[in-house]
Amino acid sequence: MTSKLEEARKIINEVDAQMAELFVKRMRAAEMVYEHKKEFGLPILDQAREDAVIEKNSAMIEDDVLKEYYIDYIKHLMSVSRSYQYRMQSGLKVAYSGVEGAFAHIAAGRIFPDSNRVSYRDFKSAYDSVVNSESDVVVLPIENSYAGEVGQTMDLIFSGGLFINGIYELEIHQNLLGLAEAMIEDIKKVTSHPQALSQCHDYITFRGFDTEEANNTAVAAKTVAEGKDCSIGAIASVETAEIYGLKVLEANINKSGENTTRFAVLSKVKANSTSLSNSVLMFTVKNEAGSLAHAVSIIGKYGYNMTALRSRPLKKHSWQYYFYIEVDGSTETEKGKKMIEELNRVCDKLKVAGTFAPHSEI
């Protein structure tokens, strides 16, 4: 019995020694993965990739009982790798527009949890910080389900040299915030961004509040916190309330239950597209009858489903427009390359602005 126990422990010790070496080797590879993700502005967690690895690796375990434990083991190992990468991420500089507590600040924190978030006064300043290598990536709003596209962001993407390497959906919940000692009955006036006031119009009318516009929801919360007036409330997020020491007097007061903002992550380097990626195309067409229809028909011809089609005026050319299109699928496939080649023949200017994984909620 003793000899069998000693033999078993000897095997375990030998395996543990091998695993220690392999663990270090794996973590060094995790460092390389992080550097790639940092360069391309990609989040650390890639759930689809992790699920695929678990499925592939667990298939090598024939014992069904052990397979269950192996899946737990590999999940924990991936969690350790992510934890290490998050520690490395503390040096990543993520630019956003607005003050601390703004929705862009919240989105940047959810996409890059342990990063160094850097505030800029406007979209262009945040964008240019990446161009000038002051920041590694920039997070900018590209569309809101309530108010539509964010034109300034689209213009920057069209005219600039940064690439979209991710689009993430942040569900917006507006809340009535007040001072810690305030009660909802004390509130006489609310302040917030005009869009937030509009989203909460029914609630504001029901309560009979006066309104005051602010540059954004976070500025409104900061103003209330500094004003020390219990009769003034702010409309903003729960995260913003925590930052400025305010109390949530009533939650989820916006009338639209489907209020979502999409944020684009942009960096200097274009991410490698995969078959699971969606693509963003931006182009102008020749000033000829049917040119836009021709371009759209080419996209359909190669089997790409368009999920978005928008137009924006060209700033320096009156009554001329550029077009923004999102399609399901990669442009790096053989058919994708043929589509781009054919589009180049009918477009004055064409750029593949980036790729993103579909349905990325934060």
Name the phi and psi angles at 299, rounded to 5.
Answer: -60, -45
Distance, in Å, from the CA atom of 280 to the CA atom of 275, rounded to the nearest integer, reads 14
> What's the rounded mean pLDDT across residues 258-280?
80
Higher pLDDT, 199 or 287: 199
Q: What is the pLDDT of residues 91-117, one digit of tens each?
A: 778 899 888 888 899 999 888 887 889
What is the helix (H) or strand (E) element at residue 170, kind and residue range?
Answer: strand 163-171
Q: What is residue 275's predicted lDDT score, i.e. its pLDDT?
A: 58
Name the phi and psi angles at 274, rounded to 5.
Answer: -125, 170
Of the ranges 60-64, 98-102, 174-178, 257-261, which is most confident? Answer: 174-178
Q: Tell me the percentage of the chain whose pLDDT exceeds 70.
A: 94
Q: What is residue 98's predicted lDDT score, i.e. its pLDDT?
A: 83
Higher pLDDT, 224 or 43: 224
Task: Return the half-sphere exposure (C-beta side, CA atoms, 13 A cut-off) of residue 205.
Answer: 7
> What's the rounded mean pLDDT across residues 19-32?
87
Task: Identify the band that residue 221 occupies on the pLDDT scale cut at 50, 70 and 90.
Answer: very high
- The C-alpha angle with vertex 138 and arms to 284 and 81, in degrees rounded to 5, equals 125
The pTM assigned to this predicted structure is 0.72
At residue 321, does pLDDT exceed 90? no
Domains (range + CATH), the chain: 2-89 (1.20.59.10), 92-172 (3.40.190.10), 175-250 (3.40.190.10), 271-362 (3.30.70.260)
